[in-house]
Amino acid sequence: TQLLEQSPQFLSIQEGENLTVYCNSSSVFSSLQWYRQEPGEGPVLLVTVVTGGEVKKLKRLTFQFGDARKDSSLHITAAQPGDTGLYLCAGAGNQFYFGTGTSLTVIP
């Protein structure tokens, strides 16, 4: 059973476009993290959101935690080729539950 579902699974866009990645669950989490992973490397933590309804901005990235703390979204403005990678959400409970991943390709 996959606790966290991400959509879309694959995304290929042109440089300069905006995009949103979704992370959905029927479970409540005490916190939720977003990671980016590049080929051959481990995931790198981008942000942690804790409070329902919380919005965090990291340069061109905006992260939102749902009011019920069951879902989250990642919005990227004016995507750049350097944003290419696998984006993973992870909910914190008794352990970390990772989402299915979204593979993003930004074409120059």
Interface residues with other proteins (CB under 8 A)?
6, 30-31, 33, 35, 40-45, 48, 50, 86, 88, 90, 92, 94-101, 103
Q: Which is nearer to other proteins, 45 or 78 (CB)?
A: 45
CB closer to other proteins, 77 vs 96: 96
DSSP secondary structure, 25-47, as one string: -SS--SEEEEEEE-TTS--EEEE
User: Both tokens of residue 46?
Assistant: 């981008």
The CB-of-35 to other proteins minimum distance in angstroms stands at: 8
The residue (of 10 and 59) whose beta carbon lies closer to other proteins is 10
Minimal distance, residue 24 CB to other proteins, in Å: 14
The least CB distance from residue 17 to other proteins, in Å, is 22
Number of residues written out for the chain = 108
How many Cα atoms are found within 13 Å in the side-chain-facing hemisphere of 80? Answer: 4
Residue number, 10 or 82, with CB nearest to other proteins: 10
